[in-house]
Chain A
Amino acid sequence: MITKEVVENVAWLARIKLSEEEKEKFARQLSEILEYFNVISKVDTSSVEPTFHVLELHNVFRDDEERESLPQEVALKSARESEDGFVKAPKIL
């Protein structure tokens, strides 16, 4: 059961501000969805490894060679605000 308080907590973790209406709607919907998702608890997976990835690729390395990269002014072009070659963020503390 997902309560409004659980939705509030998860929304804070995900940094999404929700309206009161949204909190109530999501609490109802997420409860219904999770109840259905709970069927997977019936599957016996006691001796099964998880599959994070389907391909058996490990440690993909490349040579450490200098290559062309995006010029700083191009990388900053889409930023909300920039200053002295940095993205400017709102105050954190």
Chain B
Amino acid sequence: MHLNRLTCHELVEMIKAQTVTAEEVVEHVFRRIDEVESKINAFISTFKEDALEKAREIDRKIRRGESVGLLAGIPVAVKDNICTRGKLTTCGSKMLSNYIPPYSATVVEKIEAAGGIIIGKTNMDEFAMGNSTETSFFGCTRNPWDLTRVPGGSSGGSAAALTSDETVLALGSDTGGSIRCPASFCSVVGLKPTYGLVSRYGLVAYANSLEQIGPMAKDVLDCAMLLTAIAGHDPRDSTSAPRSPYDYTSAINGDIKNVKVGVPREFFAAGLDERVEKSVLSAVSILEDLGATCGETSISYLEYVVPTYYLIAMSEASSNLARFDGLRYGFTAKCDGDWNEVFSATRSEGFGEEVKRRILLGTFALSAGYYDKYYLKALKVRTLIKREFEKALAKFDVLVAPTMPILPFKIGEIIEDPLTMYMMDIDTVPVNLAGVPSISVPCGFVDGLPVGLQVIGGFFGEEKILKVAYAFQEHTKFNLKKPEI
């Protein structure tokens, strides 16, 4: 049996019942990593010995009859912009290629407290800036469904590791679609939580008013389990919402009769690949067959979401990434000059092209004479977009839309054309601007390439979107299809 192919909910039962050991599970995962990693490049670093040691510790606890957590013995891959104490955390950048954080992110502490085992750090677009994983300093991750195509991004390593069974669970982060895009392109499940539900303490900031860490998994129930482990208030993150712990798996199973599903027509406009549209519309009729009430609705201003998102994200990035001075931690250029010279040379060599582009544009948008025209204007349009979601979600329980308007594209096909890359985020970025939760769940294949369905909820409506996604998955079983690698 290949234990690495199983889900978290299956494995936890088996580990607790002692029909398998956590050590065996971790061994199987690393055997798979040895087998396929040269083709996939999902990981920047892996921790085999530490992981095996932790697994044996869980096994000992179980044999002694001690209580173990929700994720007991389960391998978890962590995106490399989430700090792991004593373990390299690079953000996919040369700038942090030598950075070993002296502390762990809250989500990492929570996973470990729940018995989860961190097996490695996954590849990503540099500083999470991209939707293809091509901007990583450590080379592109490949899509397991077609090795010539991108896995999506920026959490491309996490998604590809799940698809290729190199892990059981994974963490991603989502600033403008970075969990949902690769989930869609790799046919896995990924959830962007409501802003403030999951602590950002220990997440290297890119655009802090937009981003959230979230769970990625092979099915919806696993996704709910990981969300349960990481959600909750954290006094170390001042933007963390004061909410009590909650078990997101508890109500996932109910039927979706009478659930009101809104289909915003703007998400089905020009630019959407017809084949993707067909898959998503057939998903809508499946939801109707399952008893949901589907109706057309509208999210106005969708044609403005990409500029609005990028102006805000780039502005925040230019401020957040000012900390990389090469003095306190990270890469330093070999340069004997004064402060400004060392600082500028370090950032010139340490940052890749896309990161420079975004810092420059963000600096421009915040500079004297342009602040009102670009940054402040974008923040006002953001208010209008947020209101659109509030209006639609007052009438409907959830909204459904394509996650990505296109199928996974070829490596190198679009990377030289930044504007075209940005435009592909049209269906994911509005969710971050509004701050609401959204899940991407597999909804079919076109010529062997995956399509994702996005289910968007109201503030703290994670339970509802998980329930709709679960009902859809249980009926369609697209999650069970695996690629040959």
Chain A: residues with CB nearer than 8 A to chain B? Answer: 2, 6-7, 10-11, 13-18, 22, 26, 29-30, 32-34, 36-41, 43, 45, 48-55, 57, 60, 62, 70, 74-75, 77-81, 87-92
Separation of A78 and B380 alpha carbons in the complex (Å):
40
Separation of A76 and B151 alpha carbons in the complex (Å):
37
Q: Shortest CB–CB separation between residue B149 and chain A, in angstroms? A: 24
Interface-side segment among B35-43, B47-55, B381-389: B381-389
- On whether A33 and B434 interact (CB within 8 A), knowing A40-B308, A78-B328, A91-B338, the answer reads no
- Interface CB pairs A-B, < 8 A, 30: A10-B367, A15-B343, A17-B344, A22-B356, A26-B360, A33-B422, A36-B307, A37-B311, A43-B304, A45-B381, A48-B380, A48-B381, A48-B384, A50-B380, A51-B379, A53-B209, A54-B195, A54-B196, A54-B209, A54-B435, A70-B102, A70-B103, A74-B102, A78-B99, A79-B328, A79-B329, A80-B327, A89-B327, A90-B337, A90-B339
Q: Tell me whether B303 is interfacial, beta carbon within 8 Å.
A: yes
Q: Tell me whether B239 is interfacial, beta carbon within 8 Å.
A: yes
Q: Shortest CB–CB separation between residue A59 and chain B, in angstroms? A: 10
Please, which residues of chain B bring their CB within 8 A of the CB of A57? 196, 238-239, 241
Separation of A33 and B141 alpha carbons in the complex (Å):
27
Q: Shortest CB–CB separation between residue A63 and chain B, in angstroms? A: 10
Separation of A91 and B102 alpha carbons in the complex (Å):
27
Separation of A17 and B303 alpha carbons in the complex (Å):
35
Q: Is the interface of A mostly helix, strand, loop or mixed?
A: loop
Among B338, B379, B380, B382, chain A packs the most CB atoms within 10 A around the CB of B380
Do residues A16 and B348 form an inter-chain contact, with CB atoms below 8 A? yes
Do residues A87 and B327 form an inter-chain contact, with CB atoms below 8 A? yes
Number of interface residues of B (CB under 8 A): 65
Taking CB as reference atom, which chain B residue is nearest A89? B327
Taking CB as reference atom, which chain A residue is nearest B96? A78
Sample of 7 more A-B contacts, CB < 8 Å, known A10-B360, A37-B310, A74-B102: A39-B303, A43-B381, A50-B383, A54-B434, A57-B241, A90-B339, A91-B339
Interface-side segment among B19-27, B183-191, B369-377: B369-377
Taking CB as reference atom, which chain A residue is nearest B329? A78
B:177-220 near A, CB below 8 Å = 195-196, 209
Please, which residues of chain A bring their CB within 8 A of the CB of B363? 10, 13-14
Q: Tell me whether B409 is interfacial, beta carbon within 8 Å.
A: no
Do residues B379 and A50 form an inter-chain contact, with CB atoms below 8 A? yes
Q: Shortest CB–CB separation between residue A86 and chain B, in angstroms? A: 11
B:399-428 near A, CB below 8 Å = 418-419, 422
Do residues B347 and A16 form an inter-chain contact, with CB atoms below 8 A? yes
Do residues B238 and A60 form an inter-chain contact, with CB atoms below 8 A? yes
**Across chains A and B, which 3 residue pairs bring their CB atoms closest together, nearest first?**
A54-B435, A50-B379, A78-B329
A-B contact count (CB 8 A): 156
Q: Identify A16's interface contact among B100, B326, B356, CB under 8 A.
A: B356
Please, which residues of chain B bring their CB within 8 A of the CB of A79? 327-329
Q: Tell me whether B330 is interfacial, beta carbon within 8 Å.
A: yes
Chain B: residues with CB nearer than 8 A to chain A? Answer: 98-100, 102-103, 195-196, 209, 235, 238-239, 241, 301, 303-304, 307-308, 310-311, 318, 322, 326-330, 332, 337-345, 347-348, 351, 356-357, 359-361, 363-364, 367, 373-374, 376-384, 386, 418-419, 422, 433-435
Please, which residues of chain B bring their CB within 8 A of the CB of A75? 102
Separation of A20 and B339 alpha carbons in the complex (Å):
22
Please, which residues of chain B bring their CB within 8 A of the CB of A37? 307, 310-311, 374
Please, which residues of chain B bring their CB within 8 A of the CB of A74? 102
Separation of A41 and B341 alpha carbons in the complex (Å):
37
Do residues A90 and B367 form an inter-chain contact, with CB atoms below 8 A? no
Q: Identify B196's interface contact among A7, A43, A55, CB under 8 A.
A: A55
Do residues A6 and B434 form an inter-chain contact, with CB atoms below 8 A? no
Do residues B308 and A33 form an inter-chain contact, with CB atoms below 8 A? no
- On whether A16 and B386 interact (CB within 8 A), knowing A37-B374, A57-B239, the answer reads no
Do residues A80 and B380 form an inter-chain contact, with CB atoms below 8 A? no
Q: Shortest CB–CB separation between residue B243 and chain A, in angstroms? A: 11
Do residues A33 and B329 form an inter-chain contact, with CB atoms below 8 A? no
- On whether A16 and B419 interact (CB within 8 A), knowing A62-B235, A78-B328, A78-B330, the answer reads no
Do residues B326 and A80 form an inter-chain contact, with CB atoms below 8 A? yes
Please, which residues of chain A bring their CB within 8 A of the CB of B326? 80
Do residues A40 and B307 form an inter-chain contact, with CB atoms below 8 A? yes
- On whether A80 and B347 interact (CB within 8 A), knowing A13-B367, A55-B195, A75-B102, the answer reads no
Separation of A6 and B144 alpha carbons in the complex (Å):
43
Do residues B304 and A40 form an inter-chain contact, with CB atoms below 8 A? yes
Do residues A45 and B384 form an inter-chain contact, with CB atoms below 8 A? yes
Please, which residues of chain A bring their CB within 8 A of the CB of B102? 70, 74-75, 77-78
Please, which residues of chain A bring their CB within 8 A of the CB of B361? 30, 33-34
Please, which residues of chain A bring their CB within 8 A of the CB of B328? 78-80, 87
Separation of A60 and B236 alpha carbons in the complex (Å):
11
Please, which residues of chain A bring their CB within 8 A of the CB of B99? 78
Please, which residues of chain A bring their CB within 8 A of the CB of B422? 33
Do residues A33 and B351 form an inter-chain contact, with CB atoms below 8 A? no
Do residues B380 and A45 form an inter-chain contact, with CB atoms below 8 A? yes
Do residues B307 and A29 form an inter-chain contact, with CB atoms below 8 A? no
Please, which residues of chain A bring their CB within 8 A of the CB of B340? 15
